[in-house]
Chains A and B, each alone.
Chain A
Amino acid sequence: MTQQSTHDLRRRTYLKGIGFAGTAVLTGLSGCTGGSDSSGGASLELLHGWSGGDGQAAFDSMLEGFEAKHTDIDVNAKAIGGGGNTSLDARINTRLTNQNPPGSWTEWPGKNLEQFTSADLLADIGESVWSNNGMQNAYLDGPKQAATSGGSFVCVPTNIHRINNLFYNTAVIETAGVDLSNITTPTSLVAALETVSENTDAVGMAHSTKSPWTTLQLWATVFLGQAGAAAYDAFISGNGDRAAVADAFKTVAAYSEQFPEDASTIGWKEANTMLVEGAAGFFHQGDWAVGAYGPEFAFESEWNHVAFPGTKGQYALNMDAWVFPREGPSSEAAKQWLQYVGTKDAQVRFNTKKGSVPPRTDVSTEKFGPFQAAQMSSLQDSELQPPSIAHGLGVTPEVLTKLKQAVGAFSFTKGSADETAQAFMDVFN
């Protein structure tokens, strides 16, 4: 009996203890969130999606450079990773709906920003940021256009990934006896893919259809190579040519016969591994794929790349940019940050680690590897920098979601190509 009662008493004491501890924790937390404003220097909250791997290393390096220059600014950076910016977008969405924007955050520039600019949530930084550090002259037209909305600058792009790459495994291509100089159009690639699968054990083209963006990206690149830059522009402005859209899908359908048979259950990284292991001859992907090519899979000797057939002289853009909110909590500190991310120092720090190239064309290639240096000169020499569709530069989020849904229903047959082309046309209506 005694034991029972003391047991009960202890239990109550514990419960009380837990209650007090809980209250203390809550008080502590509210102290934390409320306390950040009271610190001496200016504080700056940054939200981004680089929560791991090369992205995190790249951001950390850039932040280090900023903090060394601006010791008075207390940076509170939050990495919200996962699902290719899905989680970050949802967080930004909620924060903006609650009229509580962070100091700055990353977005895909271009039409993706229309969701914010149409609600007048971003402010002009042409004077305060873009007039500094020779930025206006250092950026090419494509990236500059993506950074503007209605003629005024609203963000600063910090890195460019190229979309129109065709990677290949040199050993597989040589064994198959494919002559790359014959591949000048997206349709002529079909024959090369067939040659690879006939003459080797490898599949013609590694590809993942697990989520729709990879196929949307492939279609967009084929469309750009087949129908040309003017047709591409017309499509993203809502005046696409249905027949040309369908033709590009027919080419993708022809490629699909040379895809790995398990394309629907593998991710793009697994498809990339197929290229590394010599299980595939060709691979189309953004140049972030190179991040997985270690020292044992060397550039030029083991793998190489060409501009996707039909897109020579073009540098199809995928970019990340830091935006400037109109009602931001720390606009002076945010401007300092935006000025910094537009400098050579920041872009060298970020891009050497990220595997992308600086949007500034006046950055020395010295600190970059041979592949990045080659991409940098391709960018500088490019005549056109078409904005990506699958990565939101060329289309609004709503259009992008509908395009992805339409691609999800594409069954990689010629018959389905016409239906999907019609669905693409309907997206803009």
Chain B
Amino acid sequence: MIDKLTRFTKTITRRSKALFADGGTVQDGGDESALLPRPSGAFFGSLPFWLPPFLLMGFFVYGAIGWNFVISLTETSGFGAVDYSQLDGEQYTRALGDPTFIEATTNTFGLLVAFTTVCLGIGLLLAILMDRKLRFDNGFRTIYLLPMSLSFVVTAQFWLWMYNYNNGLINSITSTLGLGRYRWISDPELVLPAVVFALIWQFSGYAMVVYLAGLRAIPTDHYEAARTDGATTFGLYRRVIIPQLKGATISAAVVLMVFALKAFDFLYSLTGSYIPPEGSDILATMMVRQAFRLNNQAYAAAIGIMLFVLAIAVIAPYLTYQHKQGEL
């Protein structure tokens, strides 16, 4: 059977000429250069490997973004074909003069910054605690990471119960502490922090895992050397350990920011409609509302492009950093 298989492979794979049915070792006598990319033929030789994904990604992702950009320059609304005859930036000026857009942008940015920073802080703290070789640390790790595996549809309903005025856990805690009860979802001042808190609960476990991997990669000598030099625990982490977690911080931050931009699902599930609770409208919910409820396709496309620019602006520092490190 194995022989048969090998023979079959031989006929279709040129390189398998070098395979022996018994050993599978590569016979590289004088043929080594064929296996390594030759500088001159490298471009054409590598075409079959990168061209198909490049075309697919280019067409379906970047092509779609480009098309979306073109639509954002039109005046399309309602049903029917897009009229490309007149392209201008009117939808963008409309957005800048629309108080809903300004509010949604502020909320999106606030959510992004608050969620990412607090998540990273809690993640780092948990990771440092986890790294102290606790008993049952695997169990704790799973517990902290578990909320991330839940879908937003589930967590949104879960947090509606948590924030219930009469019997929600959050209000039970605040009233026991003598802080009183709050209408977390219907108070426009409180709803965004409440949503951010729910998202932090869901994703700080992820930050913890990334940091934990970073911490485990730091050689023990660093700890020992710092101790020998008389560093306190706080000084050890502040001056030696945390600076070495820069890479982990940046990669975790980028993923968390992307999650923050996707908070649409959570807000949609909170109310079951495209109109999130007053005070929590973000660009994503506004875009979907404009596109699918009000049929303002061009305006929705413009909001989408601006959300995309915001996402790029958020990721740019990471890309620059990676580039400087020579990893890109």
Mark A residues whose CB is within 8 Å of B: 1-2, 4-6, 8-10, 12-13, 83-84, 86, 89-90, 93, 96-97, 99, 115-116, 118-119, 121, 209-213, 260-267, 397-398, 401, 404-405, 408-409, 411
CB neighbours (8 Å) of B22 from chain A are 2
Q: Are A212 and B164 in contact (CB under 8 A)?
A: no
Q: How many residues of B contact A (CB 8 A)?
A: 43
Binds A, one of B2-10, B28-36, B214-222: B2-10
Task: Using A9-B2, A93-B295 as known contacts, list a sample of 14 further A-B pairs with CB atoms less than 8 Å apart, ordered by residue number in A.
Answer: A5-B6, A6-B2, A12-B9, A83-B268, A84-B273, A261-B166, A262-B164, A262-B166, A262-B168, A264-B185, A266-B160, A267-B272, A405-B275, A411-B186
Q: Which A residue sits closest to B288, measured CB to CB?
A: A90
Name the interface residues of B169-211: CB closer than 8 Å to any CB of A: 181, 183-186, 188
CB neighbours (8 Å) of A86 from chain B are 272-274, 292
A115 to B293, CA, bound (A): 11
CB neighbours (8 Å) of B2 from chain A are 2, 6, 9
Binds A, one of B77-85, B132-140, B244-252, B302-310: B77-85
Q: Is B148 interfacial (CB 8 A cutoff)?
A: no
Using an 8 Å CB-CB cutoff, how does the interface string of B220-247 with A read, 1 for contact, 0 for none?
Answer: 0000000000000000000000000000
Chain A CB within 10 A, most for which of B25, B166, B271: B271
Min CB–CB distance B48 → chain A (angstroms):
14
Q: Is B110 interfacial (CB 8 A cutoff)?
A: no
CB neighbours (8 Å) of B81 from chain A are 99
Task: Specify which of A89, A118, A121, A211 is in contact with B271 (CB 8 Å cutoff).
Answer: A211
Q: Which A residue sits closest to B292, measured CB to CB?
A: A90
Min CB–CB distance A327 → chain B (angstroms):
11
Q: Are A89 and B293 in contact (CB under 8 A)?
A: yes
A70 to B184, CA, bound (A): 55
- Selected A-B contacts with CB under 8 Å, 29 pairs: A9-B6, A12-B9, A83-B268, A83-B272, A84-B273, A86-B273, A97-B79, A118-B78, A121-B79, A210-B185, A211-B271, A211-B273, A212-B271, A212-B275, A213-B273, A261-B166, A262-B164, A262-B165, A262-B166, A262-B168, A263-B165, A264-B165, A265-B185, A397-B295, A401-B274, A401-B275, A401-B289, A404-B275, A408-B277
Using an 8 Å CB-CB cutoff, how does the interface string of B269-296 with A read, 1 for contact, 0 for none?
Answer: 0111111011000000000010011110
A12 to B2, CA, bound (A): 13
Q: Are B271 and A115 in contact (CB under 8 A)?
A: no
A118 to B295, CA, bound (A): 13
Assuming A5-B24, A408-B277, A409-B278, is B295 touching A115 (CB within 8 A)? yes
Assuming A13-B5, A89-B293, A121-B79, is B272 touching A84 (CB within 8 A)? yes
CB neighbours (8 Å) of A212 from chain B are 271, 273, 275
CB neighbours (8 Å) of A8 from chain B are 24
CB neighbours (8 Å) of B311 from chain A are none
CB neighbours (8 Å) of B5 from chain A are 6, 9-10, 13
CB neighbours (8 Å) of B79 from chain A are 93, 96-97, 115-116, 119, 121
CB neighbours (8 Å) of A267 from chain B are 272
A93 to B272, CA, bound (A): 19
A275 to B90, CA, bound (A): 51
CB neighbours (8 Å) of A265 from chain B are 160-161, 163-165, 168, 184-185
CB neighbours (8 Å) of B294 from chain A are 397-398, 401
Chain A CB within 10 A, most for which of B2, B9, B100, B275: B275
Chain B interface secondary structure, helix, strand, loop or mixed? Answer: loop
Assuming A211-B271, A265-B164, A265-B168, is B289 touching A89 (CB within 8 A)? no
Min CB–CB distance A1 → chain B (angstroms):
5
Q: Are B24 and A408 in contact (CB under 8 A)?
A: no
Q: Are B295 and A408 in contact (CB under 8 A)?
A: no
Q: Is B91 interfacial (CB 8 A cutoff)?
A: no
Using an 8 Å CB-CB cutoff, how does the interface string of B142-177 with A read, 1 for contact, 0 for none?
Answer: 000000000000000000110111111000000000
Q: Which B residue sits closest to A83, measured CB to CB?
A: B272
CB neighbours (8 Å) of A1 from chain B are 23-25
Min CB–CB distance B249 → chain A (angstroms):
35
Min CB–CB distance A95 → chain B (angstroms):
10
CB neighbours (8 Å) of B295 from chain A are 93, 115, 397
CB neighbours (8 Å) of B270 from chain A are 210
Q: Are B23 and A5 in contact (CB under 8 A)?
A: yes
Min CB–CB distance A283 → chain B (angstroms):
18
Q: Is B19 interfacial (CB 8 A cutoff)?
A: yes
A414 to B4, CA, bound (A): 85
CB neighbours (8 Å) of B277 from chain A are 264, 408
Q: Which A residue sits closest to B26, measured CB to CB?
A: A5
Min CB–CB distance B268 → chain A (angstroms):
8
A213 to B183, CA, bound (A): 19
Min CB–CB distance B68 → chain A (angstroms):
14
Min CB–CB distance B275 → chain A (angstroms):
5
CB neighbours (8 Å) of B108 from chain A are none
Assuming A12-B9, A99-B81, A262-B166, is B293 touching A211 (CB within 8 A)? no
Q: Is B105 interfacial (CB 8 A cutoff)?
A: no
A397 to B275, CA, bound (A): 13
Assuming A2-B24, A265-B161, is B293 touching A260 (CB within 8 A)? no
Task: Specify which of A90, A119, A211, A404 is in contact with B272 (CB 8 Å cutoff).
Answer: A211
A263 to B80, CA, bound (A): 41
Q: Which A residue sits closest to B76, measured CB to CB?
A: A97
Q: Is B72 interfacial (CB 8 A cutoff)?
A: no
A210 to B157, CA, bound (A): 11
CB neighbours (8 Å) of B297 from chain A are 97
Min CB–CB distance B319 → chain A (angstroms):
32
Q: Which B residue sits closest to A116, measured CB to CB?
A: B79
CB neighbours (8 Å) of A89 from chain B are 292-293
